[in-house]
């Protein structure tokens, strides 16, 4: 197993380039199989989740050609199976996007039922409700979801909850249904818009993505396209929080500032100076006394739940008492116990974290409980001016962050990826 080892206390400075959005890429890759023509996607993040989904797409017979580290060409004409192996959904839940894509294109699909995960039960009832509304027979037994239809017909679908996954999955199926579909209470995340734009570049007819109401007029078939994934606002937000927590001054490049408005607003509330450019943001926290604020996670354009752990780490160093309310997932504060071992003073009451700012974190050995909490613990280690931090289970972090330690070193962090006790001790000797 590998670990990150970190000697914190250095204010981060310099500039960092942000990659393509993992959560947009996963939807785009699934949608890419909906045509029998070549689809080329670039600015793909080279992260484990993307590579696992590419494996699932190849496994059902699609042709996948890696053009370079961040570009892939997919051709769905060679698909010879409509059943996605359980192994893939076990590794990444987003394999369930192949349900919507295969059902839309072949009117038949079978994918293993995703289980819950560290942050919550994460049911997919809204996905299935949408498929049924489009006329599919959907069965869930033996741990599988099987969906089948003679034909799919447009429908008026109201999402009981705002769901990114359900919006994207239903959008894909509706794109090739007969007639008009309206999705109400749709998710408005940038990656939902990216998938809609991608499908439209393939000949789909989708309007209103990014608003509460998405209107789809089904088409006969989709054609090939070339497309570039939008920048990852969560990777960008993570580096913004790292700059804030270390009192640094960092230019974060290749971003869409509008996608980061909620994160920028909250970091400004906490005392940081945020400078916006066309495709970059600078976070200045040098000589800044971080101050308390309150945060509630909400669907976009509210404060993103995927930024909740990183923001909590920043507020753990702010003067005063802050609160962070997690309104999307029921179990997304597990990392608080690990942060407490670094000196974090956080009390969780139901879905609210009450954070009493402390003057510093101290280095400790901690374990990443999930992707974003793992990144947050790295930020705490970067801020810890006393001691060395060792983060275990970094495979969670590598699911969604490409070259994480290299990018952090590029802005002055003293962090290495090691494998085992001997290398850990070597690092500790080197920095002590
Ligand atoms: C996507 O998950 C992201 N994953 C998550 O990012 C992100 O946290 C989440 O959206 C919210 O922004 C990908 O895009 C691959 P939801 P998703 O459906 O689609 C409930 C990360 O760190 N719900 O918007 O699964 C659900 O339980 C990951 O990159 C239902 O009840 O999230 C949750 O409480 C973590 N029934 C809420 O809705 C359903 O059918 C929002 O979930 C679907 C969802």
**pLDDT tens, 313-332?**
999 999 999 999 999 999 99
Beta carbon of 372 within 6 Å of any ligand 1 atom: yes
Residue whose CA lies nearest to ligand 1 atom number 16: 163
Q: E strands of 205-329, at which residues?
A: 206-207, 214-217, 225-228, 249-253, 273-276, 280-284, 294-296, 321-325
Q: How far is the CA of 188 from the centre of ligand 1 (A)?
A: 12
Q: Which atom of ligand 1 is nearest to the CA of 299?
A: 12
Q: Which helix (H) or strand (E) holds 167?
A: helix 164-175
Q: Which helix (H) or strand (E) holds 63?
A: strand 63-68
Q: Which atom of ligand 1 is nearest to the CA of 26?
A: 15
Residue whose CA lies nearest to ligand 1 atom number 10: 164
Enzyme catalytic residues: 117
Largest CA distance in the chain: 68
Ordered per-residue pLDDT tens for the chain, 432 residues: 899 999 999 999 999 999 999 999 999 999 999 999 999 999 999 999 999 999 999 999 999 999 999 999 999 999 999 999 999 988 899 999 999 999 999 999 999 988 778 899 889 999 999 999 999 999 999 989 999 999 999 999 999 999 999 999 999 999 999 999 999 999 999 999 999 999 999 999 999 999 999 999 999 999 999 999 999 999 999 999 999 999 999 999 999 999 999 999 999 999 999 999 999 999 999 999 999 999 999 999 999 999 999 999 999 999 999 999 999 999 999 999 999 999 999 999 999 999 999 999 999 999 999 999 999 999 999 999 999 999 999 999 999 999 999 999 999 999 999 999 999 999 999 998
Q: How far is the CA of 231 from the centre of ligand 1 (A)?
A: 19
**pLDDT tens, 347-394?**
999 999 999 999 999 999 999 999 999 999 999 999 999 999 999 999
The candidate with the shortest Cα–Cα distance to 357, out of 297, 298, 311, 304, is 311
Q: E strands of 205-271, at which residues?
A: 206-207, 214-217, 225-228, 249-253
Residue whose CA lies nearest to ligand 1 atom number 9: 164
Beta carbon of 400 within 6 Å of any ligand 1 atom: yes
- Bridge pairing between strands 156-158 and 180-184: parallel
Tokens of 332: 């997304």
Q: How far is the CA of 122 from the centre of ligand 1 (A)?
A: 7
Residue whose CA lies nearest to ligand 1 atom number 21: 306
Q: Which atom of ligand 1 is nearest to the CA of 129?
A: 40
The candidate with the shortest Cα–Cα distance to 196, out of 183, 306, 84, 261, is 183
Q: Which atom of ligand 1 is nearest to the CA of 120?
A: 27
Residue whose CA lies nearest to ligand 1 atom number 25: 165
- Ordered domains of the chain (ranges, CATH): 2-19+231-431 (3.65.10.10), 22-228 (3.65.10.10)
Q: Which atom of ligand 1 is nearest to the CA of 164?
A: 24
Tokens of 28: 């785009």
Beta carbon of 308 within 6 Å of any ligand 1 atom: no
Beta carbon of 21 within 6 Å of any ligand 1 atom: no
Q: How far is the CA of 285 from the centre of ligand 1 (A)?
A: 31
Beta carbon of 127 within 6 Å of any ligand 1 atom: yes
Q: Which atom of ligand 1 is nearest to the CA of 161?
A: 38
Beta carbon of 371 within 6 Å of any ligand 1 atom: yes
Beta carbon of 125 within 6 Å of any ligand 1 atom: yes
The candidate with the shortest Cα–Cα distance to 136, out of 163, 162, 102, is 102
Q: Which atom of ligand 1 is nearest to the CA of 49?
A: 15
Beta carbon of 165 within 6 Å of any ligand 1 atom: yes
Tokens of 15: 């500039």
Q: How far is the CA of 176 from the centre of ligand 1 (A)?
A: 24
Q: How far is the CA of 299 from the centre of ligand 1 (A)?
A: 10
Beta carbon of 126 within 6 Å of any ligand 1 atom: yes
Beta carbon of 170 within 6 Å of any ligand 1 atom: no
Beta carbon of 114 within 6 Å of any ligand 1 atom: no
Q: How far is the CA of 22 from the centre of ligand 1 (A)?
A: 14
């Amino acid at each position: 197993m590998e670990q990150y080892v970190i000697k914190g206390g250095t204010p981060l400075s310099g500039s960092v380039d942000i990659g393509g959005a993992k959560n947009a890429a996963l939807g785009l890759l699934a949608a890419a199989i909906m045509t029998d023509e070549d689809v080329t996607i670039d600015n793909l993040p080279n992260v484990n989740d993307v590579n696992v989904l590419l494996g699932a797409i190849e496994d059902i017979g699609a042709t996948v050609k890696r053009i370079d580290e961040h570009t892939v060409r997919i051709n769905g004409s060679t698909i010879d199976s409509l059943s996605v192996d359980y192994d893939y959904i076990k590794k990444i839940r987003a394999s369930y996007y192949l349900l919507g894509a295969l059902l839309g294109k072949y009117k038949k699909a079978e994918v293993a039922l995703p289980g819950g995960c560290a942050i919550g039960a994460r049911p997919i009832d809204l996905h299935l409700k949408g498929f049924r509304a489009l006329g599919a027979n959907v069965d869930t037994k033996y741990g599988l979801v099987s969906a089948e239809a003679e034909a799919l017909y447009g429908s008026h679908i109201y999402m009981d909850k705002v769901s990114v996954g359900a919006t994207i999955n239903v959008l894909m199926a509706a794109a090739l249904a007969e007639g008009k579909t309206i999705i109400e209470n749709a998710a408005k995340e940038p990656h939902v818009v990216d998938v809609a734009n991608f499908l439209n570049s393939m000949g789909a007819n989708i309007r209103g993505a990014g608003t509460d109401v998405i209107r789809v007029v089904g088409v006969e078939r989709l054609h090939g396209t070339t497309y570039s994934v939008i920048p990852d606002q969560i990777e960008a937000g993570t580096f913004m929080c790292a700059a804030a927590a270390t009192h640094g001054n960092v230019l974060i490049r290749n971003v869409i500032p509008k996608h980061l408005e909620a994160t920028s607003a909250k970091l400004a509330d906490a005392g940081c100076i945020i400078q916006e450019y066309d495709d970059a943001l600078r976070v200045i926290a040098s000589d800044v006394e971080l101050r308390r604020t309150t945060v509630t996670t909400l669907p976009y354009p509210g404060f993103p739940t995927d930024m909740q752990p990183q923001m909590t780490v920043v507020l753990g160093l702010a003067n005063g008492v802050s609160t962070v309310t997690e309104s999307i997932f029921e179990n997304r504060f597990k990392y608080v116990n690990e942060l407490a071992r670094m000196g974090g003073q956080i009390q969780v009451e139901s879905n609210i974290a009450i954070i009493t700012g402390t003057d510093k974190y101290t280095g400790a050995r901690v374990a990443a409980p999930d992707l974003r909490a793992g990144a947050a613990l790295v930020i705490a280690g970067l801020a810890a001016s006393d001691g060395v931090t060792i983060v275990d289970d970094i495979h969670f972090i590598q699911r969604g962050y490409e070259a994480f330690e290299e990018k952090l070193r590029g802005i002055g962090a003293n962090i290495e990826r090691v494998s085992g006790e001997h290398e850990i001790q070597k690092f500790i000797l080197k920095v002590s």
